[in-house]
Structure 1
Amino acid sequence: MLYPELFKQLESVRWDMDKDIPWDAFDASQLSDEQAATIKMNAITEWAALPATEMFLRDNRGDSDFSAFMSIWFFEEQKHSLVLMEYLRRFRPDMAPTEEELHAVRFEFDPAPVLETLMLHFCGEIRLNHWYRRASEWHTEPVIKAIYTKLSQDEARHGGAYLRYMKRAISNFGVEAKSAFAKVGVLMASARRTAQALHPTNLHVNKALFPRDTVQSRLPNPEWLEHWLDKQINFDAVWETKVVERILHNLSLLMERSFTTVQELNKYRKELARELGASLEAVASPRAV
């Protein structure tokens, strides 16, 4: 089991909301209405860890180890939402999200393949780590800069934990796991070619609720994410490249094969798809007598 070790590891570096956030350093002159509005939206998107956890627990009923790890992930992600709300409560209470706004992002996700979902959230943690690092640089108010740094570090650790479960999946499921991870890896590392950044918050997860079937679509301002990335924190091609490089680097370690470009990863994905197809065909074909 990975859960006991991950619990001990993450417990040892967990930050305290009262002791480790420099609340006394707040500088009101460095917080604009525009900045406060982005903090509110991030608080709401972090609250979406609630339906994501419900999804993980539902779809991983046969995996008590990973389900137990969700107790850590869920706690820390909800803590992210809480510390952002606490910041607003102290310094901009008029901007604090309402309970109704928080509850709006709690909706059921359609069942999805477990391995693909694991890889999707691994990539999501990498992307959030970089988004929050950039947000910390963009903000000028000292307390919120410190908070975003804490959040970015947590997301990096969560990505590391997901990577451990991905390694375990390859040990257990072999080519099937590798194929799933490569497939999603190509998608998530190709974000530069799409109209919007790819992250669990803006992917469609409930066909019956379309077009309000993404976390982003259920925010008070559904257009906020792209504006935050493009016009505020300026998450440009340089930063997007950093995300892609981290995804490719980790997949290289995971697959024990070097990927320096998405094209190389996509070529490997096709190799795995052929290998997996041949294996399934062999299983389906009747044995010769």
Structure 2
Amino acid sequence: MLYPELFKQLEAVRWDMGKDIPWDKFEATKLSDDQAQTIKMNAITEWAALPATEMFLRDNQDDSDFSAFMSIWFFEEQKHSLVLMEYLKRFRPDLVPTEEELHAVRFEFDPAPPLETLMLHFCGEIRLNHWYRCAAEWHSEPVIKQIYTTLSQDEARHGGAYLRYMRRAIAKCGDEARLAFAKVGVLMASARRTAQALHPTNLHVSKAHFPRDTVQSRLPDPEWLEEWLDKQIKFDTSWENKVVERILHNLGLLMGTGFKTVQELNRYRKTLSTGSSNPVAST
């Protein structure tokens, strides 16, 4: 089982909201109204770990090890929402999300293949790590800069934990897992070719709720994410390239080969889908 070891590792580096966030360093003149609004939107988005956890537990009932790990992931992701709300409570109480705004992002996701979902969230952690690092650079107010840096480090650790479960899946399921991971990897590393931000909270997950079946569509401002990425924190091509590089690098380690481009990963995926043995990334 991976859960006992992951518990010890993540417990050892867990931060304390009262002691490790420098609340006394707040500088009001360095926080704009627009910036405070984005903090509210991120607080609500992080709350969506609740329906995501319900999805993971429902779709992984045959995997008690991974389900137990959800207790860590859920706790730490909800803590992200909590610390952002605490920031607003202290410094912009008029923008603290209401219970109704938080509850709006809790809805049932359609069942999905566990392997694809695992890879999707692994990529989501990589992307969110980079989004938060970029956000920390954009902000000049010291406290929120530290909060986003702290959250980005958590997301990186979560990605590492998901990677452990992906490695276990390959050992158990072989090419079935490789194909699932490669398929989703091609999608999630191709954000430059899409109009929308490729993150689990921005993907359609419930036919019954369409078109309000993404987390982002249920926020008070459904359009905020693109505005935040493109015009505020300016998550540009250089940042996107870092995300793609990390996805390709980690998939290369998992598959025992190397992927320099999404095209190479896609060729590998096609080779797996045809059932050809010993697929290679490139010749």
- 2:87 matched residue in structure 1: 87
Q: Is the CA contact 1:27–1:141 (under 8 Å) kept in the aligned structure 2?
A: yes
- 1:32 matched residue in structure 2: 32
CA distance in 2, matches of 1:62, 1:71: 16
Cα displacement string for residues 228-252 of structure 1 (whole angstroms, at most 9, x for unaligned residues):
0000000001100000000000000
Write the mapping of 1:252-271 to structure 2, written as runs, cut at 5 A: 252-271=252-271
Stretches of structure 2 that go unaligned for 5 or more consecutive residues are 278-283
Q: Is the CA contact 1:43–1:81 (under 8 Å) kept in the aligned structure 2?
A: yes
Give yes or no for the alignment of 1:224 onto 2:231.
Answer: no
Q: Is the CA contact 1:43–1:84 (under 8 Å) kept in the aligned structure 2?
A: yes
> Aligned partner of 2:2: which letter?
L
- 1:100 matched residue in structure 2: 100
CA distance in 2, matches of 1:276, 1:48: 39
> Aligned partner of 1:226: which letter?
E
CA distance in 2, matches of 1:179, 1:143: 43
- Secondary structure (helix, strand or coil) at the match of 1:4 reads helix
- 2:280 matched residue in structure 1: none
CA gap 1:153/1:211 in 2 versus in 1, 3 angstroms: same
Q: Is the CA contact 1:126–1:243 (under 8 Å) kept in the aligned structure 2?
A: yes
- 1:23 matched residue in structure 2: 23
Q: Percent of aligned pairs with the same residue?
A: 83
- 1:4 matched residue in structure 2: 4
Write the mapping of 1:191-210 to structure 2, written as runs, cut at 5 A: 191-210=191-210
What TM-score does the superposition give when structure 2 sets the normalisation length? 0.97
Stretches of structure 1 that go unaligned for 5 or more consecutive residues are 278-289
Give yes or no for the alignment of 1:62 onto 2:62.
Answer: yes
CA distance in 1, matches of 2:22, 2:188: 35
CA distance in 2, matches of 1:190, 1:40: 28
- Secondary structure (helix, strand or coil) at the match of 1:275 reads coil
Write the mapping of 1:1-289 to structure 2, written as runs, cut at 5 A: 1-275=1-275
CA distance in 2, matches of 1:272, 1:169: 16
CA distance in 2, matches of 1:50, 1:244: 27
Q: Is the CA contact 1:46–1:81 (under 8 Å) kept in the aligned structure 2?
A: yes
CA distance in 2, matches of 1:20, 1:209: 40
CA distance in 2, matches of 1:255, 1:9: 25
Q: Is the CA contact 1:176–1:276 (under 8 Å) kept in the aligned structure 2?
A: no
> Aligned partner of 2:150: which letter?
K
> Aligned partner of 2:226: which letter?
E
What TM-score does the superposition give when structure 1 sets the normalisation length? 0.95
> Aligned partner of 2:145: which letter?
K
Cα displacement string for residues 36-74 of structure 1 (whole angstroms, at most 9, x for unaligned residues):
000000000000000000000000000000000000000
Q: Is the CA contact 1:50–1:78 (under 8 Å) kept in the aligned structure 2?
A: yes
CA distance in 1, matches of 2:4, 2:228: 37
- Secondary structure (helix, strand or coil) at the match of 1:42 reads helix
